[in-house]
Amino acid sequence: MIKLFKFYSHIKNVIEFTQLPKEQRRLVFYSEGKNYWVHLEGLIKEVLASSDIPVCYVSSGEDDPGLFFKHANYKSFKIDEGFIRNWLFENIETDVMVMTMPDIHQYQVKRSKHNVHYVYVQHSLVSFHMVYRKGAFDYYDTIFCAGPHHMKEMRAIEAKYNLPEKNLVEHGYARLDSIIEESKKRSKKVKADDSPKHVLIAPSWGPLGTIESGVGEKIVAQLMGQGYQVTFRPHPQTVKFAKKNVDKIVNKYLNMPLFTYENNVAGQDSLHDSDLMISDWSGAALDYAFGLNKPVLFVDVPRKINNPDYEDICIEPIEISIRNKIGDIVDSEHLQILFSSKNIELQDWVFNPGNSNKVGGSYLAKLCVELKAYEFQI
């Protein structure tokens, strides 16, 4: 009964969206759920603050904060992440579609049959060609780049596969800006000399990942045995596809006072409260090191490779090249805990620190105006 109600509710929302006058749905943002709001929120607020362009927000997550945001020029719509969404996307009529979802038009989610300009916004600092599938960004028109590495990689991909050049925007990374800004607001906590060090375990996901491979269980056991305070923060995809591994760890330690299970990767408390992050190939490690200048330990599990042809692009992915610059690589079988942070020049790696939302929001508003002018010329 609940599923049927949700189905009809999603249908109703799609009808409501498609019946809006075209002028009210010229700019559409899509979010897969609550973890992506942090990457889109600032852009949306900047567009609304700096222009009179109406914004539509479509999400597949019931608890997405973007569904509860209020503004006179803003409308939000909840849909599913299956048939209804896929139909809407294939038939959507809008000028600009902003998304954080790679692989558009390669699988179930297609580009619209109408003339829509697609903009990709980064939800990670990692490179384009190893962690992401081959062709993950081929069907986007504009790519918001977090740093110089993204610009170089995309141009190299285009050259290698003879693809048309996309619009590349020197945007930056909103998640990082948010972490840095939050850090400034928080008062520095003074810990007692005898209080345990706080370790945050935040790996990536995949069949060979830290948790999926069973290495995570060993790491938690070692840390708990040595008296560390541990926050266990698996990736949502790990929870989805390797729930047994996650549950085994959580059920064993959940009632212990030094163990915390965190299932919201959009939150920031554990980032600011912890002393050290243990990760593998996760972009979260870059957020942690760049945003807070705290130490990171990289567990030596196999590389996360979703594109077997990544070496065709003769650029070393940032998640490989930067490891020794921002942290230490440790043996997963004989984990040595090191608390040595390294100094990082943020502006060398990321565009527009602290100003990405203003840059990105202004670009989107300008793009909408230009596309509307072009439409009138036709």
Half-sphere exposure of 265 (CA within 13 A, CB side): 25
Residue 229 in this model has a pLDDT that exceeds 60: yes
Instruction: Report whether pLDDT(365) > 60.
Output: yes
The Cβ of residue 2 has, within 10 Å, a number of other Cβ atoms equal to: 6
**193 has a pLDDT exceeding 90:** no
The pLDDT of residue 218 is 94
For range 190-209, the mean pLDDT: 89
Residue 288 pLDDT exceeds 70: yes
Considering the chain, what percentage of its residues have pLDDT values greater than 70?
97
Please tell me the predicted confidence (pLDDT) of residue 303: 95
The one-letter amino acid code at 99 reads M
Give the C-alpha distances (Å, rounded to integers) separating 171 from 125, 142, 193, 342: 12, 11, 42, 25
pLDDT in tens, 57-75: 999 999 999 999 999 999 9
For 93-122, what is each residue's pLDDT tens digit? 999 999 999 999 999 999 999 999 999 999
pLDDT surpassing 50 at residue 150:
yes
Rounded to two decimals, what is the model's pTM? Answer: 0.93
DSSP class of residue 346 equals G
What CA–CA distance (Å, rounded) separates 49 from 240? 37
Model pLDDT, residue 378 = 39
pLDDT value of position 350: 97
What is the rounded CA–CA span in Å between residue 355 and residue 254? 39
Segment holding 216, helix H or strand E: helix 215-225
pLDDT digits (tens, 9 = 90+) for 240-266: 999 999 999 999 999 999 999 998 888
Contact 368, 26 (CB under 8 A): yes
pLDDT in tens, 20-29: 999 999 999 9
pLDDT, position 115: 95
Lowest model confidence (mean pLDDT) among 2-11, 91-100, 119-128, 364-373: 2-11
Confidence of residue 376 (pLDDT cuts 50, 70, 90): very low
Widest distance between CA atoms in the chain: 72
Per-residue HEC secondary structure of 1-50 comes to: CHHHHHHHHHHHHHHHHHCCCHHHCCEEEEECCHHHHHHHHHHHHHHHHH
Average predicted confidence (pLDDT) for the chain: 93
What would the mean pLDDT of 133-162 be, rounded to a whole number? 98
- How distant, in Å, are the alpha carbons of 221, 229, 296, 339, 343 from that of 274? 18, 9, 11, 11, 18
Give dist(CA 84, CA 97) in Å, integer: 17
What mean pLDDT do residues 222-228 have? 94
Per the document, the length of the chain is: 378
Computed from CA positions of residues 80, 131, 335, 293, in that sequence, does the dihedral angle turn out positive or negative? negative
Q: Quote the pLDDT of residue 2.
A: 59
What pLDDT band is residue 222 in, cutting at 50, 70 and 90? very high
